[in-house]
Structure 1
Amino acid sequence: MPTWLSAMPIEQQAVLVPVYLVAAALLVVLLVPRIGTAWRLRTRIGVMALASGIGALVGWLAVWWTVDVQDLFGAPASDVIRGAATAAGAGLGLAVVNLFGTRWWRKVIAVLAVPALIAGAGLMINRDVAYYPRFGDVFGITGVKNLALSQGSVAGRSLSSWLPPAGMPKQGTLGTADIPGTVSGWHARPAWIYLPPAAQVKHPPKLPVVVAFSGEPGGPSDVFLAGNMQQRLDALAAKHRGVAPIVVVPDQLGASTKNPMCVNSKLGNVATYVTVDVRDWILQHLPASTDRRAWTVAGFSEGATCAVQFVSADPAIFGSAIAVSPEVGPLNGSVAHTIAVGFGGSRKRYLASMPVAVMHRTKRYPATAIAYSVGQNDRRYGKDAGTLAAASRAVGMHVSYRVLPNLAHNWNTGAAGLDYGLQVLASWWRLP
């Protein structure tokens, strides 16, 4: 794929409007019935109306089945998504009926309308959920390469005495790396890693670390592509002498649509992978601080649920968290299914794993900070963030909480919430 095409920003009006106009123009041509006798004209109009109606129903049912019934995305569909699918279905129905009993040029237009309609609906839905910022991202062509890392990278001075050397890069760098499940046995996709400018010099300081997670379905790239984290981290570094957290996004899912819930179970030992394998790898390869206050766990949606689980269950490792639209506890489908696949069929173990229960057992978290946020229009998880924030505050955590106006449960919310968390915790990390 040419570089210019893979870099095309498909969420911008300059790209969206031409696609919408082409699709609309093709539909207008297909809507004009072939001239003939009054009876044939009425019949043709009736057939086109029926085909469009059936197509619209199929589009609406597709969203209902995948989102409402199967719950494949863990969030309700917005009116934009339902409208785009319904409109595309109606247009496709109209295109199909124009393939039969029409002249050759109308058949050509019908064929051209199919990809235009699919592209238009797809771009509209993508704009609504803010998932793929560029065309290449749709096909996994991100331009992000493996990081060249050496074993035993040692951090030097503390942040309090850090002065940026001459020639330090102006921006951070982004890359991938394989983090093996040496102890856990977990098979993960490559992690995505951000190194701030201060991490790229010969003698870096001891830097804070953010271990972040995507939502489900998803993957490590989501935090940077949909969450726009690199730009936000570079802006933070520019204010603090090139210092920002190292961000490591490991694969807690194993595949896009899996959800082992960040626990140790027959689905995989994800908790051990994060707290042992990932942590050890970071300390061996990156200029990371060993102070628990400098270690943060973060995420959006399912990833945010993981973040709350880890910060509540492993306070000796993580001193802070960023949780954007979390659930009140681990969940994979129904509660019954969750207990069966994640907790060996034990409801007692499941209830004991809930972050509120863990906090109640631990009782005090005197040096732990957590930034919660949730979309104002998040109908499913809106209450969960408030419940967790109240429980966190009750056990002594330093809690920040924000309702993000006019946002629901998508990566618009994820990006805004992660940015909010970075701003809240900048002082907690004692950045210079």
Structure 2
Amino acid sequence: MAGRAWRWFTGLQLVTGPLATALVLAVVVGLLVLVTSHRSRRWLTRRVPLAVLVAGLGLGLVWVLLRVLKPFPDGLPWLVFLWIGLGLLGLVLAVVSWPGQRWWRRALTVLAVLAVVVGAANGVNRVYQPYPTVAAALQLPPYDEVDARDVLTGDTAAPVSPADWTPPGDVPTTGALSQVTIPATASGFPARAAWVYLPPAYLTAHRPLLPVWVVLGGQPGSPRDWIDGGGIAQRLDAWADAHHGLAPVVVMPDDLGGEVTNPLCLDSALGKADTYLSQDVPAWITHTLQVDPDHAHWAVGGFSYGGTCALQLAVAHPGLFPTFFDASGQAGPTLGGATATVAATFGGDTAAFDAVDPLHELAARRYPELSAYLTVGAGDDEYRPQARQVTAALRAAGVDVTSTEIPGGHSWDVWGPGLQQALPWLAAHTGLPS
């Protein structure tokens, strides 16, 4: 009974549904409780306005720090600042109201501020939707996670392509997710643990040689981004179910080196992210996984920062990743400004930066061997113009480009459905029956 209740609770939706609505109401009720924690005139006319002022100053400090430190290359939407402000207001009201309260009122204050902070945090979550469920927010193991030692076996794969493979009678109904360590042997990159999705066909005794998709997360983020926000395992399980268990082997490495760090997917003063993703990760794949060794059937993709990184890797290493998927990526690597970016990466050497900037690379030569699928939200006013700029540059360089715009902004409302729409295209370009 307890196990069923826990599974029910952790499966609750945080972006839509009753719990999401309840958390919005929790913010309102929690703030009302905190505002009415004292009934004196002095409290209402002095302390509450003071709390609002302090919370406003705190929000202003957050805005200044974001502008100065630029932990994210793009700005935050006003709705995110609203939720941050409400969370700060709840905390300040709790501190200001604490002196002189009775024990029961202090207990109520604690509950109220928790309601405000949790509700405000989920308000931010609803903007980008990285954690659609309670389980994702708590970073619980995915439902289909298995120990890597149980699935990364040394069995010999059948030397046949997916098109020539005959499914045996033991094809599982779902694939498996495993957390793995990909050593940074050549790069020294401080990579976190990666994730691998192995489709049902891979889990059979006589697996075919399946294509490889390297899929990258956003910034801030983690290698779990596509698992939690994008539901990639469920999407590919459904694809495999309709294709006799066939789907790609998907490797989700760390492209950041930390939750909020930004190495710009380059080899620069910020670290050797490019070497890690173009040498260490492929070497681990080839050594550890039984997959198609023909890089004509390999692809790289990602969303936001990961989409920009996919563009960079494909342009820099077209023989390694001749196919790429870019969801809401930027036109190139940036820390928010050209001068700051060049200074942080190459000590102000603009020519060195231009040599690894994808738009400059595309302008310098043609890439007829590349195929690209770009998608962006129709309501994404910041990234949609950049997607169009990249599309034009790719086409001018001879790249086979498919470009789409779908309803939504800069969130999983676009990235998950965008991948879903791209699945037939990606399958066809990487040697899977579509």
- TM-score for both structures, normalised by structure 2: 0.88
Please tell me the residue identity of whatever aligns with 2:412: W
Q: 1:267 aligns with which of 250, 266, 270?
A: 270
Aligned pair in 2 of structure 1 residues 97, 189: CA closer, same or farther (>3 Å)?
closer
The separation in 2 between residues aligned to 1:93 and 1:253, in whole angstroms, is: 34
Larger mean CA deviation between 310-319 and 331-340 belongs to: 331-340
Other-structure match for 1:355: 358
Q: What amino acid is the match of 1:414?
A: W
> What does the per-residue CA deviation read over 1:119-166, in whole Å, with 9 as the maximum and x for residues that have no partner?
110111112211123334444432545412235854521122122111
Pick aligned residue for 1:388 from 390, 404, 407: 390
**Is contact 1:59-1:85 (8 Å) kept?**
no
Q: Which amino acid aligns with 2:359?
A: V
One-letter code aligned to 1:164? P
Are the aligned partners of 2:307 and 2:327 in contact in 1 as well (CA < 8 Å)? yes
Give the count of matched residue pairs.
Answer: 425
CA distance 1:106–1:358, shift in 2 (3 Å): same
Task: Give yes or no for the alignment of 1:173 onto 2:161.
Answer: no
Matched AA of 1:131 = P
Give the equivalent residue in structure 2 for 1:246: 249
- 1:332 correspondence with 2:335: yes
More deviation, 241-250/284-293: 284-293
Residue 267 of structure 1 deviates from its aligned partner by: 3.1
1:343 Cα deviation after fit: 2.9
Q: 1:412 to 1:59 in 2, by over 3 A?
A: farther
Q: Structure 1 residues 294, 93: closer, same or farther in 2, change over 3 A?
A: same
**Residue 411 (1) aligns with residue 415 (2):** no
* Contact 1:9–1:134 (CA under 8 A) maintained in structure 2: yes
Tell me the amino acid that sits aligned with residue 316 of structure 1. Answer: G
- Looking at structure 2, the residues matched to 181 and 71 of structure 1 have their Cα atoms a distance apart, in angstroms, of 27
Which range moved further: 411-420 or 120-129? 411-420
- Comparing 262-271 with 388-397, which one deviates more in the overlay? 262-271
Deviates more, 1:171-180 or 1:154-163: 154-163
Map 1:248-397 → 2, pairs under 5 A: 248-365=251-368, 367-397=369-399
- Equivalent position amino acid for 1:240 in 2: H
Q: Who is 2:17 aligned against?
A: 13
User: Relative to structure 1, is the Cα distance of residues 146 and 362 closer, same or farther in structure 2, using a 3 angstrom cutoff?
Assistant: farther
- Identify the residue that residue 130 of structure 1 maps to in structure 2: 129
User: What are the equivalent positions in structure 2 for 1:412-427 lying under 5 Å apart?
Assistant: 412-427=413-428
1:377 CA drift (Å): 2.9
Unaligned runs of 5+ in 2: none
User: Could you say what secondary structure the match of 1:168 adopts?
Assistant: coil
2:201 paired residue number: 198
Candidates 177, 184, 187, aligned match of 1:184: 187
User: 2:84 maps to which residue?
Assistant: 85
Alpha-carbon distance between aligned partners in 2 of 1:390 and 1:333, rounded to the nearest angstrom: 22
Matched-pair contact (CA < 8 Å) for 1:376–1:404? yes
State the 1:49 CA deviation.
4.0
Q: Which deviates further from its counterpart, 349-358 or 410-419?
A: 410-419
For residue 214 of structure 1, the aligned residue among 217, 224, 227 is 217
The range that moved more, 322-331 or 150-159, is 150-159
Relative distance call for 1:228 and 1:348 in structure 2 (3 A) is: same
Structure 1 residues 13 and 55: alpha-carbon distance in aligned structure 2, compared to 1, 3 A threshold = farther
Tell me, in whole angstroms, the C-alpha distance in 1 between the residues paired with 2:367 and 2:98: 69
1:172-216: CA deviation from partner (whole Å, max 9, x where unpaired): 111111111223333421111101111111111121111111111
CA distance, structure 1, for counterparts of residue 395 and residue 334 of structure 2: 23
The code of the aligned residue for 2:220 comes to P
| Cα 1:155/1:308, change in 2 over 3 Å | farther
Shift of 1:6: 4.9
Change in 2 beyond 3 A, CA 1:320/1:94: same
Structure 1, 379-388 or 50-59: larger mean CA deviation: 50-59
Contact 1:209 1:246 in 2 (8 A): yes
Indicate how the Cα distance of structure 1 residues 431 and 61 shifts in structure 2: closer, same or farther if over 3 A, else same: same
How big is each residue's C-alpha offset from its partner over 1:49-95, in whole Å with a ceiling of 9 and x where there is no partner? 41352254146325523544433233322232222223333344444
CA shift, 1:388, in A, is 0.9
CA distance in 2, matches of 1:268, 1:318: 21
Mapped to 2, the partners of 1:410 and 1:271 lie a distance apart of 25
CA distance in 1: counterparts of 2:34 and 2:219, whole angstroms: 39
TM-score using structure 1 length: 0.89
List gaps (5 residues or longer) in structure 1: none
User: How far apart, in 2, do the equivalents of 1:76 and 1:93 lie?
Assistant: 25
How far residue 255 of structure 1 moved from its aligned partner, in angstroms, is 1.5
Per the TM alignment, residue 101 of structure 1 is displaced from its structure 2 partner at its CA by: 4.6
% identical equivalent positions? 33
Is the 2:296–2:319 Cα contact (8 Å) retained in structure 1? no
